[in-house]
Homo-oligomer: A and B are copies of this chain.
């Protein structure tokens, strides 16, 4: 579990919820004043509809996958990967046959694929090319997915405004139409309520964008960059293993991918 996401979400929903409950205590419908299904439909529905137009089906369907990914912690740590590569460097110096045997125990899939290329006997240049192409294309795909949330983060306030405009136009016309009708209900009261309803879509739009879509897009983007660093570290490691470099040199080199306090100084 990624507790930061969870705590953040709980905190945000809690705080805004508390404020909403607080200000709506004196209202006749209480907190239900802020729950309006039609407004929700315009904002969420409009956002999803425009997103469906904006992206290929495959990326829209990645929404759910990414939502769950956001709540689960990253499994692997760069430091562990580094230690694994350094250990394998000692094995690789004994020969490709030894490396092949060790292959079964490698957990990181990207590292495993890279080692397989060494075992297959490809030259250094090809190994680097294949692995870098893989990283680039992984990034292109993941960026496209993070973009779905980013787009939702701009669309959601826009549809919030669309909803408010619909409400305002209706209210303004009603103001004209009904002012000559019966006056059992206070017109100011009606006006206030109509405008309140109209503003709820803007509130929904701003809330979804800033508490959900934008932060999720940011987290996906930050994971992509973190993964890039890990994979480039692995590529350098695999190339060094291919060249049978000494484990100490491998460690020294890969250390430069880690923040100072995570660096490994003894094996």
Contact = CB atoms under 8 A, between A and B. Distances in A.
B210 A46 contact: yes
Interface residues of A, number: 118
A256 B15 contact: no
Interface string A231-267: 0000010000000000001001100111100000000
**Interface of chain A, helix or strand or loop or mixed?**
helix
B253 A129 contact: yes
B8 A206 contact: no
B134 A256 contact: yes
B19 A38 contact: yes
Contact of A206 (B45, B134, B144, B158): B158
Interface stretch (A53-61, A81-89, A100-108): A53-61
Instruction: State the number of copies, please.
Output: 5
A185 to B, nearest CB: 9
A82 B58 CA distance: 19
Contacts of A48: 8, 11
A200 interface: yes
A52 B60 CA distance: 25
Nearest to A36: B169
Given A162-B207, A199-B172, A253-B130, A53 B18 contact: no
Identify which of A13, A45, A50, A229 gathers the most chain B CB atoms within 10 Å of its CB.
A50
